[in-house]
Amino acid sequence: MPINYYLFLSLALFSIGMVGVLTRRNAIIIFMCIELMLNAVNLLLVAFSKMHHLKNLATSATAGTDGQLFVFFIMVVAAAEVSVGLAIIVMMYRNIHSVDIQFLNRLKH
């Protein structure tokens, strides 16, 4: 497949995630939209790694492995990030009994 298609698909997914972050008020949904944006970037990284592989197939049999390992590490970091982030959201819910980010605009009180 032409790499352009993957590029535009990833851009569309990323923008949908961005729209979600901007239009929702539920902290959990915003967090999920960030996960969607991460996944869009992952998809593009895999597509580019396969492009690189096809381009450098003659010189090196493992060209493009780095991109896929990078995706693997992004998934690792995302898993750690989700566990801590959800713990923070649960703590916030325990304190103010809501996940509405509108209540978080006064950090000094």
Partner 1 sequence: MNVTPYIFWFLSVLALFSALMMVTSRNPVYSVLWLIGTFFAISGHYILLNAQFLAVVNIIVYAGAIMVLFLFVIMLMNLNRETEPQKNRWLKFIGALAGGCLLLVLVAALKDAELKSQQAMVGGGSIGLIKVLGKELFTRYVVPFEISSLLFLSAMIGAAVIGKKENSQTLNS
Give residues 44-73 in contact with partner 1 (rule: CB under 8 A).
46-51, 53-55, 57, 61-66, 68-69, 71-73
Smaller CB distance to partner 1: residue 1 or 109?
Answer: 1
Closest contact distance (angstroms) between CB of 108 and partner 1 is: 20
* Shortest Cβ 86–partner 1 spacing (Å): 5
**Quick check: 78 and 42 in contact, CB under 8 A?**
no
In whole angstroms, how close is the CB of 73 to partner 1 at the nearest point? 6
Asked if residue 20 lies in contact with residue 36, where contact means CB atoms within 8 angstroms, the answer is: yes
Contact 78, 38 (CB under 8 A): yes
Asked if residue 77 lies in contact with residue 54, where contact means CB atoms within 8 angstroms, the answer is no
Q: Is 6 in the site for partner 1 (CB under 8 A)?
A: yes
Q: Which of 23, 41, 96, 105 binds partner 1 (CB under 8 A)?
A: 23
Tell me whether residue 33 or residue 108 sits nearer to partner 1 (CB atom): 33
Which of 59, 80, 105, 108 binds partner 1 (CB under 8 A)? It is 80
73 by Cβ neighbours in 10 Å (0-12 / 13-18 / 19+) ranks as exposed
Helix, strand, or coil here: 106?
coil
